[in-house]
Amino acid sequence: MEDLRQTALAYYMGATDDIRHVVDEFFEEMDPNDNGYVKFKEFSAYMETMGCCNMSSEEFYEELKQSGNDGLFADDIITLFYIIHSGRPFCGGKCKKFVKGLYFTCLKCFDDETSGSTSFSVCSQCYADRHFEHLHQEFLDPIVLLNLKRMEALSNKHNTTVTSINSEATSVSSRSKKKKKTKISVRAKMQTAIQLGQLVASIGSIVLTSQLCTIM
């Protein structure tokens, strides 16, 4: 839990004043008597109200609470806020425990748009021991999954760029051919006009010669 706590505090310190205010209000709502810390009953009741029943247990409360403290203090609540909004999972395998460390997520469920925000994850121990039941077999840890999605995004961007370039090249080629055809058409008309002119001139010459012959 200490690693998660440090991560949560780092996010909090780098957050805007508006986000910090939301986190502070979260703490105040959980501490109605305003004594600066949250007892288990207050915590459990609030989490059930939020619909986070899997986080309302005393076991999770004790994990969240720092050793030696009588309740949850500001740092603990910041950590809880991070856990909720980062989608940190509980194991979907045999142990059902909150996953503080590495875990594996079903790739197909993660990509399934129809499932909404629902995904299936298991802790590393349950995954290694195959102590879980699930329809799909492809699982990745978050780091590998993130890199995979990045590579897919880069690949899609590259393909889009190539398609755009090819489309533009085709368009330019088409315009070039059209201009060429237009030039050829104009040239052909000019040649036809010249030929007609020559023909008319020849006919005129013949007629004139004929008339001269008649006169003579």
List the one residue out of 51, 52, 76, 94 whose CA is nearest residue 1: 76
pLDDT score recorded for residue 195: 59
Question: Between residues 9 and 201, which one has the greater pLDDT?
Answer: 9
User: Can you tell me the distance from the alpha carbon of 123 to that of 36, in angstroms, rounded to the nearest whole number?
Assistant: 34
**Could you say which of 4.10.91.20, 3.30.360.10, 1.10.238.10, 3.40.50.1820 is the CATH number of the domain covering 1-88?**
1.10.238.10
* DSSP conformation class of 38: B
Q: Are 99 and 111 in contact (CB under 8 A)?
A: no
* DSSP conformation class of 113: G
**How would residue 188 be classed by pLDDT, with cut points 50, 70 and 90?**
low
Strands (DSSP E) found in the chain: 103-106, 121-123, 139-140
Q: Are 23 and 12 in contact (CB under 8 A)?
A: yes
pLDDT score recorded for residue 119: 86
List the one residue out of 106, 72, 76 whose CA is nearest residue 91: 106
User: Can you tell me the distance from the alpha carbon of 178 to that of 71, in angstroms, rounded to the nearest whole number?
Assistant: 79
pLDDT score recorded for residue 200: 44
Mean pLDDT, residues 16-37: 92
Mean pLDDT, residues 38-62: 92
Question: Between residues 212 and 83, which one has the greater pLDDT?
Answer: 83
List the one residue out of 64, 61, 121, 131 whose CA is nearest residue 95: 131
Domain ranges within the chain, ordered by starting residue: 1-88
Helical packing angle, 74-85 and 17-30, nearest 10°? 110
Q: Are 50 and 85 in contact (CB under 8 A)?
A: no
Collapsed DSSP state (helix, strand, coil) of residue 171 = helix
Q: Are 129 and 33 in contact (CB under 8 A)?
A: no
pTM value is: 0.68
Q: Are 111 and 148 in contact (CB under 8 A)?
A: no
Please, which residues bridge with residue 105 across strands? Answer: 121, 140
Mean residue pLDDT of the chain comes to 81
Tell me the CA end-to-end span of the chain in Å, nearest whole number.
126
Sheet with strand 121-123: strands edge to edge: 121-123, 103-106, 139-140
Q: Would you say the C-alpha torsion 52, 121, 11, 151 has a positive or negative sign?
A: negative
The secondary structure of 128-165 as a DSSP string is HTT----S---EE-HHHHHHHHHHHHHHHHHHHHHHHH
**How would residue 175 be classed by pLDDT, with cut points 50, 70 and 90?**
low
